[in-house]
Structure 1
Amino acid sequence: MSAVTTIGWIGLGNMGTPMSRRLLSAGYPVAVYNRSPEKAVALREAGATVAASPAALLTAAEVVFLMVSDDQAVRELFTGPEGLLQGAGPKKLLINMSTVSPGVSRELAALSQAQGHTYLDAPVSGSVRQAESGQLVIMVGGEEAGFARAQPLFEHLGKLAQHLGPTGHGNLAKLAMNTLLGFQAQGLAEALLFARQHQLQADDLLTLIANSALGSTFIKLKGEAVLADNYQAAFALKLLAKDLRLAQAEGLATPLAETVVQTFQQAEPALGEEDVIAVLKHLERA
């Protein structure tokens, strides 16, 4: 790579925008692409260039990050008309930070390798606040040489980037972590509903939890959201429902997991755009 790595970024949603902005603020030349071009305006005003297509982005950049919603979206970006793999130039590093299935990562890694590129799956733990502050946890699958090449860039995005093994292992780790996140969200919701049933104050229960071994950043943030009646999505319920389906497809079939998967699938039609802790509202109505 050159002395100053040229960056391409695809996907300017709630996470992709602050993450790409951090690389831009760190002094990297950044080109962006988003299917809805209006989402690129703020980055362009901050100094990024806007590519006309994924193929044009790959031609212009040495390292391309993707942060999009699902398997279908990322596959289309790689293989569709004017997709990434139609771009020019050898030995590009393609870093897919989306939460997708391990299978699609293995498929895209093989296609990338056939054209001389390196593919990493590198999903993240954390939401918008952590993306803005560079405090994400990044879990990486793929070649160790690719991970070493990406590490200086990961340092601007997260507090930890860990290489976990071959392609797909980053995705598997993310599915395991989001399974636990689902357990915690539903568990917190059920505890709060139980407290309400017996006229215990939610803020009192949350204070007790925060000062016990059960306290965590997740419980704190989601508890505060419930107290404020604020269900604006930091991590949308529909995305967790999707991740739980992916985990189930990879063999997740334990009793607690089956219950949580079912709960979030049932909650998704009405509450999918709200935060994961909106599962409380679904359980309240059940």
Structure 2
Amino acid sequence: MSEPRVGDCVRVCVIGLGNMGSSLAQRLSSKGYQLVLYNRTSSKAVELSKELGVEYAESPCKCAKKSDILTIFVSDDEALYDVLLQSSGICGCVKDKTVLNMSTVTISTTVRAKNLVENAGGRYLEAPVFGSVSEVLEGKLLTLVAGDEQYVHSVMPVLRDISKEVLYVGPVPNAMVLKLAVNQLNHFIAAGFAETLAFVELYGVELELLRKVLERLWMKCIAEKFWRRMVEETAGVRFRLELAAKDLQCFVESARRMGLDTIATSGALQRFQEGVASGYMGKDYTQIGKMLLDRGKRLRELMSGGRF
């Protein structure tokens, strides 16, 4: 069985037009797909539809009715349930449609979403991605896909058009488990490195000396990833800090549901939640480093009389 082609008039509904969803729509439009856009804040859908010369829909259900494949790129569990279950949600209009959930949510939510979609006659796949706006626009995402293999076949052209690599990882919820695991590790390391920087700053040791030490050890890769974005304050917003907090919350909730304690991750979560409460919402998640560096500087100044 051959894969469907763009020329076969594959119609794609893009639900959720935040930074990633909007970029996804731009990429798919550039590849020739027939798009229908939906966003909870309708003005975004109207504006982007005019920019791309595509349709927009006033509800998830109307979007689904005009599409073969539905991509969902929303921020959290609540937003996903809203897309599925609101009075004009897709569960009333998803029969014979394929749903690609690209949102990062808890394991229990993706499993429930699968059941809801399939009970309504639709097909559900997970397709979380690694990468940011630039990777979407350039088609260089790493995409994980989980679900029934016969359903995966029908969406592979779409996934390949946005990805440098697509990995099939088995049934739902395997893709979401891996997505949460990898994000947890990244955010955990970021929180730990932020505290490392603050500690060195607190005791008045030049940060450059820390970098020289790290460059001679296996931790060099950590410094290479985070140094510029935390110390030199040149970070653009690739991934918002509040979304890092949400990812860690999803990890903690999903682990605890299965009886696994998450003492270390809960500490990292608390740090990112502190960042949200301290005015860093909307900034890149690596700015947790700036927050703690500033704190280290202030504490050192307070201790200037008696250093130790």
User: How high is the TM-score relative to the length of structure 2?
Assistant: 0.82
SS at match of 2:166: strand
Structure 2 Cα separation of the partners of residues 274 and 207 of structure 1: 28
Counterpart check, 1:260 vs 2:247: no
**Using the alignment, how far apart are the partners of 2:44 and 2:235 within structure 1?**
23
* Aligned equivalents of 2:37, 2:25: Cα separation in 1: 8
2:97 match: 92
Q: Deviations over 1:169-196 (max 9, x none)?
A: 2111111011111122123323433444
Aligned to 1:13: 18
Worse-matched range after superposition: 65-74 or 178-187:
178-187
Task: Using the TM superposition, give the Cα deviation of residue 99 of structure 1 relative to its aligned residue in structure 2, in angstroms.
Answer: 0.4
1:76-104 per-residue CA deviation (whole Å, 9 max, x = no partner) reads 1111021112226x311000100011211
**Is 1:27 the counterpart of 2:32 in the alignment?**
yes
Q: Which has the larger Rg?
A: 2
The one-letter code matched in structure 1 to 2:138 is S
Tell me the residue number matched to 2:301. Answer: none
1:109 aligns with 2:85: no
Evaluate the alpha carbon distance shift between residue 73 and residue 225 of structure 1 in structure 2; reply closer, same or farther with a 3 A threshold: same
SS of the equivalent of 2:165 reads: strand
Compared with structure 1, are the counterparts of its residues 71 and 199 closer, same or farther at alpha carbon in structure 2 (3 Å cutoff)? Answer: same
Structure 2 unmatched runs, 5+: 297-308
Aligned-CA RMSD value: 2.5
Per the alignment, residue 281 of structure 1 pairs with 290
Single out whichever of 244-253 and 95-104 deviates more from structure 2. Answer: 244-253
2:133 is matched with which residue? 128
Supply the AA of the counterpart residue of 2:277: P
Counterpart contact for 1:203–1:227, Cα < 8 Å: no
**What's the counterpart of residue 235 of structure 1?**
239
The change in CA–CA distance for 1:129 and 1:227 in structure 2 (over 3 A counts) is farther
Matches within 5 A, 1:41-120: 41-87=47-93, 90-120=95-125
If the length of structure 1 is used for normalisation, what is the TM-score?
Answer: 0.88
Report the equivalent of 1:223.
227
Aligned to 1:138: 143
How many residues matched?
A: 284
After superposition, the Cα gap between the structure-2 partners of 1:113 and 1:254, relative to the gap in structure 1 and judged at 3 Å, is closer
Between the aligned partners of 2:11 and 2:218, the Cα distance in structure 1 is 45
- Residue identity opposite 1:10 in structure 2: I
Amino acid at match of 1:248: V
Aligned to 1:269: 277
Distance 1:99 1:179 in 2: 12
Inter-partner Cα distance in structure 2 for 1:129 and 1:212:
31
Deviation of residue 67 (structure 1)? 0.3
Is the 2:228–2:235 contact (alpha carbons within 8 Å) kept by the matching residues of 1?
no
Equivalence for 1:250: 254
Cα displacement string for residues 190-227 of structure 1 (whole angstroms, at most 9, x for unaligned residues) = 343344446665567558757865455x8546433335
Sort the Cα spacing of 1:258 and 1:115 in 2 relative to 1 into closer, same or farther, 3 A. closer
| Cα pair distance change 1:49/1:184, threshold 3 Å | same
Residues 258 and 26 of structure 1, relative CA distance in 2, 3 Å threshold? same
DSSP-derived class of the 2:32 partner? coil
Q: Answer yes or no: is the 8 Å Cα contact 2:231–2:290 preserved in 1.
A: no
- Partner-residue secondary structure (3-state), 1:155: helix
* Distance across 1 between alignment mates of 2:145 and 2:237: 25
How far off its partner does 1:122 sit? 1.3
Give 2:198's aligned residue: 193
Of the structure 1 ranges 161-170 and 183-192, higher mean CA displacement relative to structure 2 is found in 183-192
Q: Distance in 1 between matches of 2:174 and 2:103?
A: 13
Distance 2:281 2:165 in 1: 29
